[in-house]
Amino acid sequence: MMIKINISSNVIGEPILAESMIETKTALNISQAHFDSTYGEIIAEVETDDFKSIREALESKGAKVTVLDHPIVRDEEECVECGACISVCPGHVFSFDEEWGIAQDIEKCIQCGTCIKMCPHHALSLEK
Amino acid sequence: MVEKSIEEINRRIKEGSVNVVTAEEMVGIVGELGAKEAAKEVDVVTTGTFGAMCSSGAWLNFGHPEPPMKMNKVFLNGVEAYSGVAAVDAFIGAGQLSETEGFDYGGAHVIEDLIRGKSIDLHATSYGTDCYPRKTLDTTLNIYDLNQAIMINPRNGYQKYNVATNGINRTIYTYMGSLLPNYGNVTYSGAGVLSPLSNDPDYQTIGVGTPIFLGGTKGHIIGEGTQHSPETNFGTLMLRGDLKDMSADYIRAANFHEYGTSLYVGMGIPIPILNEQLAQSTAVTDKDVVTNVLDYGVPSRDRPVLRKVNYEELRSGSIEINGKDTPTSSMSSFKKSREIAGELKKWVAAGEFFVNTPSQRLPAKATCKPMRQTTRNPLVQDIMAKDVVVIDENATFHEAAKMIMENTFSHLPVVSEDGKLAGIVTAWDISKAVAETGCNYVKDIMTKRVLTSNATDPIDIAARNLDMKEVSAMPVIDKDRYVIGIITSNDISKLFARRR
Ligand code: SF4
Ligand code: SF4
């Protein structure tokens, strides 16, 4: 599953990510990270079984963890299966199947919204 | 030499004994049998393409209202349709944007809504004449209420398309979709192996009057398209079809973010295999269709060519740009193109669709000229202020304030010790410095990431940069970053006001 970890300015200098991973022996597969002096935001994939323990570890050190559970939705009526969305997605969610239709691996979606602007047919949305 | 006649092929279509295959299947057949045997075996090869074709539209005839009106301006769901012809005819173009909804709704959407049988609001105005006294009109109608709804596409079915990527450091939004910064992705269009014109590049069978698949129904080629450029392998076609018989499966409105609207058009052409040469040309593969990758980051008609590429490479999912593996996206749908070639094949096999000899050949020798421009495009150097005052980064902000007071500029470029541009300060930065403590020198308060311009940039590009970054002035620098002028949005507005 995909999670978002927010680190606020008061703890930003501390290695809480590394500590939490070592403590819980959990691997976080980081797909995007943003840090500056005021905040940090990390998008990462974690095994569902490990989620509870890593969340506890991170939150005990002052981070905020949110589950990204509203991945991209594709309206199959609107979609013409062009493939325009494929190259812009940082999560590699979309690909062509053998018949040149669109295959998608929704689990990898980090909800960045980039594909929504790309789609010429308004077929994609991040519905809440 | 194998020679077959159109009559012979049509007889087989009628009898149900025709051998029709898609252009994809033809590759294997010619590979196996050779062109000569394949020409004996195969009678018709079908092609197909489904992609954005901005140069599309429809002529609509609304019938006469009572009292009658010569419609002068016509709006369909808020989208202007051209009505500078007879009283109640109008051409709705795919790329025209709604007056109220902008990028979200355009002529393409009106066309799709018409095909779907939806109601459309018509608003028209006129100046009124003795024969057509009415001045305004508002009504709601659908496609069945119209006398004619004829799709006429001035330029469709491009033989191939340039491939797009972007070398600048921000995402740009184009008719080729979102192009990520620093060659982050590549977008392409066209059906490669199935592309109609790539399968008959010598226009042996494709010409005026050729029956085609258009939008789910039978249409015709009515001539070469605008910008037809067969000599550079960028041939185009002008098409006609009855909108009333079309299906939204094959005609779809599209929006390109920050670019505008376009129409995805499904089109396919049957190619009668009259001889070996046609068997050979319809065996064209993705690998044989070669095009150029252009840098759309350069806002010029002559975009730099980064490399050559064929459709097999494009469709593999990534290509190499500057030594980096770069993901590709198709803007047109190969799956739909296949569906169209398959559908056309079914029509021919079922004896419902015949081939013919063009009533006129399309020009095989032509190229597309750039525009003749009789007024010189103004450049930044034509309107920039050359007597620009600069300040040293080690000066105090008091000195900067004094300089701004004494001069008419409100922007002061800052230079480092070697005289090169280091930043910019404005009156606003100085007032901020007064309010805060610890900022005594210009270098503490200046903006370091300065938007700059080159003297030889066209004004339109400078204007767009100012607009997009929401700044009001840019230092003009030479290639060594020495400040040679300054250009402000004020200078530009004055120039544009004069131009109008
Ligand atoms: S929002 Fe779209 S582009 Fe972003 S990760 Fe999800 S699928 Fe990919
Ligand atoms: S860009 Fe839109 S229409 Fe094209 S394949 Fe992706 S979701 Fe479908």
DSSP B348: H
Q: What is the Cα–Cα distance from A56 to A50, expressed in whole angstroms?
A: 10
Res A128: pLDDT: 60
Q: Which of B61, B66, B149 is nearest to B74 (CA)?
A: B61
pLDDT, one tens digit per residue, over A98-119 is 999 999 999 889 888 899 999 9
Residues A56-66: what's their mean pLDDT?
90
How far is the centre of ligand 2, averaged over its atoms, from the C-alpha of B168 (Å)? 25
| B177 contact A CB<8A | yes
At a CB cut-off of 8 Å and minimum separation 6, what does B469 contact?
B451
CA B433 to chain centre: 48
| A113 contact B CB<8A | no
Q: Where are the domains of chain B?
A: 4-52+150-359, 62-145, 378-496
CA distances A41 to A5, A30, A62, A63, A67, Å, are 6, 11, 13, 10, 13
At a CB cut-off of 8 Å and minimum separation 6, what does B34 contact?
none
All residues of chain A having their beta carbon less than 8 Å from the beta carbon of residue B261 are none
- Which residue out of A4, A72, A87, A108 has the highest number of ligand 1 atoms within 8 Å of its CB and is therefore the one to mutate? A72
CA A97 to chain centre: 23
Question: Which residue spans of chain A are classified as CATH 3.30.70.20?
Answer: 70-124
Q: What is the Cα–Cα distance from B171 to B174, expressed in whole angstroms?
A: 10
At a CB cut-off of 8 Å and minimum separation 6, what does B298 contact?
B167, B304
B368 is catalytic: no
All residues of chain A having their beta carbon less than 8 Å from the beta carbon of residue B173 are 117
DSSP E strands in B71-135: the ranges are 73-76, 79-81, 89-93, 97-98, 102-106, 120-125
Residues A8-14: what's their mean pLDDT?
79
| B256 contact A CB<8A | yes
How far is the centre of ligand 2, averaged over its atoms, from the C-alpha of B495 (Å)? 42
* Matching CATH number, A1-65, of 3.90.70.10, 3.40.50.720, 3.30.70.260, 3.10.50.30: 3.30.70.260
- B427, with CB counted inside 10 A (0-12, 13-18, 19+), is middle
- A84 in contact with ligand 2, CB cutoff 6 A: yes
Q: What is the Cα–Cα distance from B138 to B101, expressed in whole angstroms?
A: 19
- A89 in contact with ligand 2, CB cutoff 6 A: no
- Report the gap between the CA of A102 and the closest CA in chain B (Å): 9
Q: For the whole model, what pTM was predicted?
A: 0.86
CA-closest residue to ligand 1 atom 2:
A115
All residues of chain B having their beta carbon less than 8 Å from the beta carbon of residue A75 are none
How far is the centre of ligand 2, averaged over its atoms, from the C-alpha of A120 (Å)? 7
The model's confidence at residue A1, banded by pLDDT at 50, 70 and 90, is confident
Q: What is the Cα–Cα distance from B499 to B491, expressed in whole angstroms?
A: 13
Question: Which residue spans of chain A are classified as CATH 3.30.70.260?
Answer: 1-65
- B226 token code pair: 């605008």
- A105 token code pair: 């691996």
At a CB cut-off of 8 Å and minimum separation 6, what does A38 contact?
A9, A12
Helix A16-24 and helix A51-60, axial crossing angle in degrees, nearest 10: 140
CB B176 within 8 A of CB B331: yes
Is CATH 3.40.630.30 the classification given to domain A70-124?
Answer: no
pLDDT tens-digit profile, chain B (500 residues): 889 999 999 999 999 999 999 999 999 999 999 999 999 999 999 999 999 999 999 999 999 999 999 999 999 999 999 999 999 999 999 999 999 998 999 999 999 999 999 999 999 999 999 999 999 999 999 999 999 999 999 999 998 899 999 999 899 999 999 999 999 999 999 999 999 999 999 999 999 999 999 999 999 999 999 999 999 999 999 999 999 999 999 999 999 999 999 999 999 999 999 999 999 999 999 999 999 999 999 988 889 999 999 999 999 999 999 999 999 999 999 999 999 999 999 999 999 999 999 999 999 999 999 999 898 888 999 989 888 889 999 998 888 888 888 877 788 999 999 999 999 998 888 887 777 766 788 888 888 889 999 999 999 889 988 888 888 899 999 999 999 999 998 888 888 777 65
Look at residue A2 and tell me whether its pLDDT is greater than 90. Answer: no
Neighbours of B418 (CB within 10 A): 9
Interface test with A, best of B109, B183, B252 (most A CBs within 10 A): B252
Class of domain B378-496: alpha beta
